Structure 1
Amino acid sequence: MSAVRVGVFGLLGSGNLGNDGSLEAVLRYLRAEHPEARVDAMCGGPETVTARYGVPATRLHWYRGEYRTASRARAMAAKGAGKFVDAFRTAAWVRRHDVVIVPGMGVLEATLPLRPWGFPYALFLLCASGRLFGTGVALVGVGAAPIGSRPTRALVRWSARLAAHRSYRDEQSRDAIRAMGVDTSRDAVHPDLAFALPAPPAAAASGGTEGTVCVGVMDFHGGDDDRALAGEIHRRYLDGTTRFVRALAEDGRRVRLLTGDACDAAVVDAILAAVDSPLVTAAEADSLAGLMEETAAAGTVVATRYHNLVCALKSGTPTLALSYAAKSDALMARMGLGAYCHPAREVDAGRLLEQFRELERRSDQVRRTLAERNRAAARELDGHLTALSAALFPAAGRASAPRTPQEAS
């Protein structure tokens, strides 16, 4: 019997804590349920993934400047050559595996600015290579959304069609892929993979520090279809969020600013400079576990990034979403807090304060609701991971490709 060769793939180790949290959840699952599996990664930050998780990793892109804007002819030529080289690199990597897992992440959406020749192209190469070599590619708990760009939509549609397994983190994601012409009749929906991570320590999650408010911020410029308005969208978001934080500080409330990606640091710096209060400080969490500890120790959370919301909700802390996409609204509704969403594109500090105060008045009831919803999410996710094992890891020690969900059902 040979060990199953499992690859994990995505923008992992690149500074986005949500993506890394999804990776951590899948690695915990593999080590608990399939300890014999040999795991490695193809990802955005291979050095970080290897150092933090002990997983051998290789770069997602041959060209190191993939995500820098190419304005000179030499850089543009190198980026173009990289696309050609990546087709062979990805195929060779996929061929060495029995299963490749894409853990969570919004890999089938364009709710943030995205170019078709970036990650959508990389995902298409992965799924096409999997179909070519008989390696099962599993898109596990991923996010999806309607996509305006025709090239990006085509790449996403074909990636989804070529994958051996698909599951989604909300119903809207499955609906979006169905609307692109993909048969989703056997695709599952389950809570975000981060709900499989350990909860914060009991001491931290016992009720929080009543006066502290965690405010999760984001370097938000709108979605892929908002490029012409990106500057104005960012200005409104930053101005409204700053006004809200200033109002909290003037009320004598302690505020902890949270981030979820390295690029968010500029927003934190701008708010700290504008408010200029010792009551407003910045957290330095470098993992979802760290973010959960921060949110568990707070009385209330107001957050923008999707996985900031996940951390706050999983920690059982009353939470208000500065919602920038349908996935945030869906998550809040699943956790019983659908009434506490505020549009990130039009942050109205006055209205936000009203919603915040109402949330605090209902704090005890909200905590009970979140405890119940978290238990349900854990049960549902555990059931899906059991089904995932049946689909991707047949009992026989094998060197052949895994069965698809249709074959396993």
Structure 2
Amino acid sequence: MSGAPGGETPVRVGVFGLLGSGNLGNDGSLEAVLGYLRTAHPDAAVDALCGGPEVVEARYGIPATRLHWYRGEYRTASRLGAIAGKGLGKLVDVFRTAAWVRRHDVVIVPGMGVLEATLPLRPWGFPYSLFLLCASGRVFGTRVALVGVGAAAIADRPTRALVRWSARLAAYRSYRDVLSREALREMGVDTARDEVYPDLAFALPTPQPAPQPRASSEQPSDTPGPGTVCVGVMDFHGGNDDRARAEEIHRRYLDGTTQVVRALAEDGRPVRLLTGDECDASVVTAILDAVDSPLVTASEASSLADLMKEMAAADTVVATRYHNLVCALKVGAPTLALSYAAKSDALMGRMGLDAYCHPAREVDADRLLRQFRELERSAPEVRRTLTERNLLATRQLDHQFTALTAALFPAAHPAHALRKAS
């Protein structure tokens, strides 16, 4: 993405976030933004400041720098040396982040729930990193854009303050749902000019599934076929305010999900277990061990495209992670959400499936199976609804990218260069 015609200096674009770190949703948002840049701004010079630079470089072909100076940033620090390393890292990252931001004209934070704490989160983790980014952008005149991000009310005061100031310092904001915009407004940010668009992952190409033979109890298929149910699982322990009940919440979620998978297998349904983050593997292993059926298999999907291929070939999807839901809805699969946050309910409502939500904190296997059977009875109507909503989402994301170009890539690059130099 470098080498502007006519000898002009290419616009320098950075992408920022926990990218390449094992979360498929985060990487899918990056992929969508890179697709936009390659189409609309092919001469831009793009690089990343991210959690997994080796993965980002290998998978997406752009230079990448490690987000944190201290490599043990996301490991629990109990020994004195580790605590000192983390503390020193916070100071070093001030200068590293500032130096990286200064080299760019534009920095994009692609999607992700960067303004929420629906999962366990410490203020000195990613919220601190995001604040450093946005503050550096304001200091050096680099436009920082929070594009299609998620936000939610945050009770922890230090985390809330960092999120609020990060949003205020950003040059551009858009959200993946109305709830996110309202949450930020309630936290004291002026959102009057901010827009809401579908999640960035809806801009990814929709794969066409290859025809698959029906699996049987004698010879289960390794890929979803007719009759298959994809079940997306999550290493779910509640949110930031649930730390005292984390193990109880996890046990109830795992037990309920296991009961549902067992019931489906006993009905002769092939079940394909899907994940959305590397940490979910332990849940897959626990379910496979507990159910012990040849009809229950585990996917090795390593991208949202892989997930979508699996889901497109299945009859029905039951999913927990937000971007598992996005993938299922995008391919038009009848989908039931195990909702762990309001964002999941909002997404299902936007796609016309608000009747098919079930709380992940209180999984009731019998009620979930009743909802599942009702969803399957309504499958033809659900598929028609999803076709219409997906067409609308595509048009709305076209508007998102047009608005992003207008906000971040002014036609008068020389004038911008003069402003940056002043």
Which TM-score applies when normalising by structure 2? 0.94
CA contact (8 A) 1:272 1:281 kept: yes
Once the two structures are superposed, residues 53-99 of structure 1 have per-residue CA deviations (whole angstroms, 9 ceiling, x without a partner) of 00100000000000000001110001000000000000000000000
SS of 2:227's partner is strand
Give the residue type in structure 2 aligned to 1:149.
Answer: D
Change (3 A) 1:54 1:301: same
Give the residue type in structure 2 aligned to 1:296.
Answer: A
CA contact (8 A) 1:135 1:402 kept: no
Query: Partners of 1:57 and 1:277 in 2: how far apart?
Result: 43
The CA RMSD measured in Å over matched residues stands at 1.5
Of structures 1 and 2, the one scoring higher in RCO (CA 8 A, sep 6+) is 1
Give the deviation of 1:201 after TM superposition: 1.5
Residue of structure 1 in register with 2:208 after alignment = 201
Residue of structure 2 in register with 1:262 after alignment = 278
- Residues 111-130 of structure 1: matches in 2 within 5 Å? 111-130=118-137
SS of 2:116's partner is coil
Give the deviation of 1:396 after TM superposition: 2.2
Residue of structure 2 in register with 1:92 after alignment = 99
1:67 aligns with 2:74: yes
- Residues 361-376 of structure 1: matches in 2 within 5 Å? 361-376=377-392
List runs of 5+ in structure 2 lacking aligned partners. 1-7, 213-223
Give the residue type in structure 1 aligned to 2:397.
Answer: L
CA contact (8 A) 2:211 2:225 kept: no
1:333 aligns with 2:360: no
1:28 aligns with 2:35: yes
1:230 aligns with 2:246: yes
Residue of structure 1 in register with 2:46 after alignment = 39
CA contact (8 A) 1:98 1:399 kept: no
Residue of structure 1 in register with 2:3 after alignment = none
Query: Partners of 2:211 and 2:139 in 1: how far apart?
Result: 49
Identify which of 50, 65, 85 aligns with 1:58: 65
Change (3 A) 1:401 1:302: farther
Query: Partners of 2:413 and 2:9 in 1: how far apart?
Result: 6
1:217 aligns with 2:224: no
1:382 aligns with 2:389: no
Residue of structure 2 in register with 1:176 after alignment = 183
- Residues 199-348 of structure 1: matches in 2 within 5 Å? 199-201=206-208, 203=210, 209-348=225-364
CA contact (8 A) 1:98 1:402 kept: no
Give the residue type in structure 2 aligned to 1:326.
Answer: A
Change (3 A) 1:281 1:29: same
Which TM-score applies when normalising by structure 1? 0.97
SS of 1:298's partner is coil
- Number of matched pairs: 402
CA contact (8 A) 2:235 2:250 kept: yes
Query: Partners of 1:261 and 1:138 in 2: how far apart?
Result: 25
- Residues 103-182 of structure 1: matches in 2 within 5 Å? 103-182=110-189
CA contact (8 A) 2:115 2:163 kept: yes
Once the two structures are superposed, residues 72-127 of structure 1 have per-residue CA deviations (whole angstroms, 9 ceiling, x without a partner) of 11100010000000000000000000000000000000000000000000000000
Give the residue type in structure 1 aligned to 2:195.
Answer: A
Give the deviation of 1:395 after TM superposition: 1.2
- Show structure 1 runs of 4+ deviating over 4 A: 202-205
List runs of 5+ in structure 1 lacking aligned partners. 404-409
Change (3 A) 1:204 1:295: farther
CA contact (8 A) 1:391 1:402 kept: no
CA contact (8 A) 2:48 2:64 kept: yes
Give the deviation of 1:210 after TM superposition: 3.3
SS of 1:158's partner is helix
SS of 2:160's partner is helix
Query: Partners of 1:86 and 1:400 in 2: how far apart?
Result: 27
CA contact (8 A) 2:209 2:312 kept: no
SS of 1:2's partner is coil
Residue of structure 2 in register with 1:406 after alignment = none
SS of 2:387's partner is helix
Query: Partners of 2:271 and 2:225 in 1: how far apart?
Result: 11
SS of 1:101's partner is strand
CA contact (8 A) 1:249 1:279 kept: yes
Aligned-residue identity in percent: 80
SS of 1:167's partner is strand
- Residues 389-408 of structure 1: matches in 2 within 5 Å? 389-398=405-414, 400=416
Query: Partners of 1:347 and 1:224 in 2: how far apart?
Result: 19
Query: Partners of 1:215 and 1:113 in 2: how far apart?
Result: 23
Give the deviation of 1:384 after TM superposition: 1.2
CA contact (8 A) 2:209 2:313 kept: no
